Amino acid sequence: MRFRAEQHLRRQRDIQAVRESGRRCDCGGFTLWYRLRPATPPPPVALRRICTVASTAAVGGAVERARAKRRLREVFRQHQEVVPPGYDLLLVAKRSLNRLEYREIERKFIEACSRLAPRPSPAA
């Protein structure tokens, strides 16, 4: 599946909203921040949006930062169907991300995203 331009979380206020009112999940090599977008007037936007962050202090030089962000974007691109529609994600890379096997990053992303949607409670 493609990673379309409208799936990029770009506006600073949207990114801040994910950090301030969203929830956080530590996934080892990266931190996943997530937030369900408030309902918008019709038509409802059910896109899954993402922003990847890799700072110099946390990850290293330009080459390491670019590799970390590229790996996170590719994991999202390949497994975006596990993210419930309408969620904004912020993936923050850590130094250890580039030392992990790609399969391990995939596993951690899928595991974290499977816990995003609220589970229906059993009927009593």
pLDDT tens-digit readout, 17-29: 999 999 999 999 9
Q: What is the pLDDT of residue 120?
A: 53
Q: What is the pLDDT of residue 116?
A: 84
Q: What is the number of H-type helices and E-type strands within the chain?
A: 3, 4
Q: What is the pLDDT of residue 124?
A: 47
Neighbours of 105 (CB within 10 A): 21
Report cis status (omega within 30 of 0) of the bond before 43.
yes
pLDDT tens-digit readout, 34-85: 999 887 655 555 789 999 999 999 999 999 999 999 999 999 999 999 998 8
Q: What is the pLDDT of residue 27?
A: 92
Q: Which domains does the chain have, with CATH numbers?
A: 5-113 (3.30.230.10)
pLDDT tens-digit readout, 75-123: 999 999 999 888 999 999 999 999 999 999 999 999 999 888 765 555 5
CA atoms within 13 A of residue 74's CA, in its CB half-sphere: 10
Q: What is the pLDDT of residue 29?
A: 93
Neighbours of 9 (CB within 10 A): 18
